[in-house]
Amino acid sequence: MSAVSTGRRQGRTPSRLASGRIPGDESRRARPKPRHKRPSLLLGVLMTLMLLYCLVPLWWLVVNSTKTMDSLYGSFAFWFSGEFSLFQNIADTFTYQDGIFLRWLTNTLFYVVVGAGGATLLATLAGYGLAKYRFPGRKWVFAIILGAMAIPGTALAVPQFLLFSGLGLTNTPWSVIIPAMVSAFGLYLVWVYARDAIPDELLEAARLDGAGEIRIFFVIALRQLAPALITVLMFTVVATWNNYFLPLIMLSDAQWYPLPVGLAQWSAQSSSIGGQAIPHLVITGSLLTVIPISAAFLYLQRYWQSGLTAGSVK
């Protein structure tokens, strides 16, 4: 009589060895195979088109910055041709008009450091205050911030010009820096993040230990707000670096131009009377303008996803 039948008669469950089953075999058989989703053809096509939309202009910029002005119009636009003149074009860009390109680059860095840095600091302070303090009119302040986000910057350019003109600040760096230090979107982003990322119990414990509000903000809250701070900094840096319209109407002295306005003036020389066409220098200058902001974006984007999603799930 087999071991299986003997086990059944005695009311015992037969062992796996007696039944011929190997331990672990059931788990391997019962484990469902991972289901791989079929790639979407439409999604792949859309992503490819978006990638080409972003990379083709950059490739055109890199290729044409290596050409001389003569070969710029007599060769295929998307491939190298003639003498490799990238380094000569860079040297000519920095020496043209007594090196004014370097001045524009310095101005842009100054506007970014002061304007974007100030906007990040003010947005962090105001967003933290709105999220963690209760005061009369708090809802009205929040409504005004949402309304400010809906107003495009170009609609405020003329009123800002009239205001700064009345104060005597036009054609000065402050006419570019002060508007850049106000970021309604940055304030809203910090407010939403601080509301869930910083527990009220943590602040109360710090107050019970004798910490003041300033110390609580810089020692405790600021560390918790680091992802949101980096995210706001990235947005404000990109916006200030690419700022064109406001400096165009605020500044009349070329010594205070940022890079976008200065390069636009170089590009407009070819259509002016007696102007010199320098398309190869405009293209090379545009490439030099793209490199720093791209490097900053790639460095800061590691914190972007954390800054946008942290606090959204409890």
Domain ranges of the chain: 94-309
Q: What per-residue confidence (pLDDT) applies to 9?
A: 46
Asked if residues 296 and 242 have their Cβ atoms less than 8 Å apart, the reply is no
Phi-psi region of 32 (alpha: psi -120 to 50; beta: other; left: phi over 0): beta
Q: What per-residue confidence (pLDDT) applies to 274?
A: 66
Domain 94-309 sits in which CATH superfamily?
Answer: MetI-like (1.10.3720.10)
The C-alpha atoms of residue 235 and residue 116 are separated, in whole angstroms, by: 9
- Local confidence band at 6 (pLDDT 50, 70, 90 cut-offs): very low
Helix/strand/coil for 104: helix
The C-alpha atoms of residue 111 and residue 107 are separated, in whole angstroms, by: 6
Average pLDDT over residues 71-95: 89
Asked if residues 242 and 260 have their Cβ atoms less than 8 Å apart, the reply is yes
The single residue listed with the structure tokens 């087999």 is 2
Average pLDDT over residues 230-241: 91
Q: How far is CA 229 from the centre of its chain?
A: 12
At 247, list the tokens. 């400096």
What pLDDT digit, counting tens, does each position of 31-46 carry? 555 555 667 888 889 9
Q: What per-residue confidence (pLDDT) applies to 314?
A: 47
Asked if residues 104 and 262 have their Cβ atoms less than 8 Å apart, the reply is yes
Average pLDDT over residues 77-98: 90
Global pTM value = 0.79
The C-alpha atoms of residue 265 and residue 261 are separated, in whole angstroms, by: 6
Phi-psi region of 311 (alpha: psi -120 to 50; beta: other; left: phi over 0): left
The C-alpha atoms of residue 135 and residue 133 are separated, in whole angstroms, by: 6
Average pLDDT over residues 223-230: 88
pLDDT averaged over every residue in the chain: 83
- Is pLDDT at 220 greater than 50 in this prediction? yes
Q: What per-residue confidence (pLDDT) applies to 269?
A: 83
How many helices (H) and strands (E) in the chain? 19, 0
Sign (positive or negative) of CA dihedral 147, 150, 155, 157: positive
